[in-house]
Amino acid sequence: MENINFDEYLRESKHSETLLINQLSLARAESKQNVYKFGFGQSPFPIPEAITEKLIEAAHRKEYMNVQGDLTLRKAIAEFHNEVEGKNWKADRIIVGTGSKILIFCLMSAFKKAEVLLPSPSWVSYDPQGKLAGHPVHWVETRYEDRWRLMPDQLNHFCEQRADRNIPLILVLNYPNNPTGQSYNKEELKALAEVMRKHKVIVIADEIYSLLTYQQDYGSIADYYPEGCVVSSGISKWCGAGGWRLGFHYIPEQLGDNLLNAMIGVASETYSCAPSPIQVAATHAYQNKKLAKDFIDKQTRLLNKISQYCVEQLTKSDVLVHKTEGGFYLFPDFRQYKEKLEKSGITTGEQLTTKIMQDTGIALLPGSAFGMPFESLTARLAFVDFDGGQIFEKNLQDITYPMVEAGILALCDWLEKL
Ligand code: PLP
């Protein structure tokens, strides 16, 4: 029988820079060469044992739970964020899902028609999600000088030149940011909020890293523009539980019941509910505030120290890089090496990260994976190649992180030899 060919009807699948870097690092590892794993941004810290024990105890829970999420869990989430982050959340405006990622997709899919706006650089999945939901995706390029953050005048300019301003505009604002590690201070959020209000922008405030903010004087855009902000978060980062797949969205009353119900509708026709044992364990993670706060506090101090080391070394080597404000990432810009790199035939971020991997074994992701122009000589560096369990037991002054140190020094050395 002849093969049926429907390729032209398939959605385009973007070639993944992550895969390319993974293949190269596997090849190096097989030939026993060093690999520095700065490519993949996953929490290096083990989930606290008290929480994993709750999961074991709850393993027998086999029932489907409420599509919106178990009420006890939603109450625990609301209480936790109200106390720790000064929110004013009610459990009935929270929807729980199998990770915050699918909820972002549910939210985008809840709109029959919308446009999506992303500052570049932005996390890899927003753009494909917007397209899968059938929406045009627009990018606004941010600048190194602005610490890669969206400025109010850029947002205003984008909104004013839209062809049809009646179509809902969904902006995804993520802070602390993946890939840049940057956040907005309160004054900056206020100024952005004014523009958002003027243009009635729907904001997905992706706060998945907010609890891993190093200095707690950063706010949330939802403090200044509550009526238009859906807050997205979960246990993947602060609790180190990415593979547990549990996240939530907070949908403010002002955005209406229809939006919440539309999201519940998409959720019920796709994932049905988050796994019951995970919901039970996550409830304990949020209820046990002391444990959570201590865990968070220690992680942020450790991450801050390691990030500072990387920034100091890279800055000495004339790499442009901003100090991380939260999360696991740095976004070095190698533009000062442009001419030297050109002489070696390197003119794009992807060529740069490929060559760095081939020559040194350091895995980085090019800025273009995050919506930056191809010629941008930027990359994401996840400084998490260390044993989080071991480091966690030590005093801050005693910690060592040999792979991070060796990797950063190898990178500086590579640059010097250009
Ligand atoms: N948003 C950002 C910026 C992320 O980096 C990630 C995970 O890497 C997510 C959302 C998705 O998190 P979750 O595990 O809750 O789906």
Q: Ligand 1: which atom is nearest the Cα of residue 236?
A: 14
So what's the pLDDT on residue 42? 87
Q: Which domains does the chain have, with CATH numbers?
A: 14-43+291-416 (3.90.1150.10), 49-287 (3.40.640.10)
Q: Which strands make up the sheet holding 247-250, listed edge to edge?
A: 94-97, 247-250, 229-234, 202-206, 169-174, 115-120, 137-141
So what's the pLDDT on residue 12? 75
So what's the pLDDT on residue 18? 66
The alpha carbon of 31 and the centre of ligand 1 are apart by a number of angstroms equal to 33
Q: Ligand 1: which atom is nearest the Cα of residue 245?
A: 14
CB 222 within 8 A of CB 193: no
Whether 210 is in the pocket of ligand 1, judged by its Cβ within 6 Å, is no
So what's the pLDDT on residue 22? 74
Whether 101 is in the pocket of ligand 1, judged by its Cβ within 6 Å, is yes
Q: Ligand 1: which atom is nearest the Cα of residue 98?
A: 16
Whether 208 is in the pocket of ligand 1, judged by its Cβ within 6 Å, is yes
| Beta partners for residue 417, in sequence order | none
The alpha carbon of 33 and the centre of ligand 1 are apart by a number of angstroms equal to 31
Mean pLDDT in order along the chain per 10 residues (418 residues): 79 68 81 90 94 98 97 98 95 98 96 98 95 97 98 98 96 98 96 98 98 87 96 97 97 95 96 98 98 96 97 98 97 98 96 94 95 97 95 93 97 97
Whether 240 is in the pocket of ligand 1, judged by its Cβ within 6 Å, is no
As a whole number of angstroms, the longest Cα–Cα distance in the chain is 69
Whether 252 is in the pocket of ligand 1, judged by its Cβ within 6 Å, is no
Whether 181 is in the pocket of ligand 1, judged by its Cβ within 6 Å, is no
Residue nearest to atom 5 of ligand 1 (CA): 178
Mean pLDDT rounded to a whole number for the chain: 95
pLDDT tens per residue, range 5-47: 888 888 876 656 666 777 788 888 888 899 999 998 889 999 9
CA angle 12–230–48, rounded 5-degree value = 90
The alpha carbon of 390 and the centre of ligand 1 are apart by a number of angstroms equal to 25
For CA atoms 72, 74, 77, 80, give the dihedral sign: negative
Whether 122 is in the pocket of ligand 1, judged by its Cβ within 6 Å, is no
Closest among 384, 411, 371, 282 to 327, alpha carbons compared: 384
So what's the pLDDT on residue 17? 63
So what's the pLDDT on residue 28? 87
Q: Residue 132, Cα to own-chain centre: how many angstroms?
A: 19
So what's the pLDDT on residue 319? 98
Rg (CA), the chain: 22
pLDDT tens per residue, range 332-353: 999 999 999 999 999 999 999 9
Whether 109 is in the pocket of ligand 1, judged by its Cβ within 6 Å, is no
Whether 98 is in the pocket of ligand 1, judged by its Cβ within 6 Å, is no
The alpha carbon of 233 and the centre of ligand 1 are apart by a number of angstroms equal to 8
So what's the pLDDT on residue 16? 60
pLDDT tens per residue, range 108-161: 999 999 999 999 999 999 999 999 999 999 999 999 999 999 999 999 999 999
Q: Ligand 1: which atom is nearest the Cα of residue 242?
A: 14
So what's the pLDDT on residue 23? 79
Stated pTM of the model = 0.96
CA–CA gap between residue 27 and residue 300 (Å, rounded) = 33
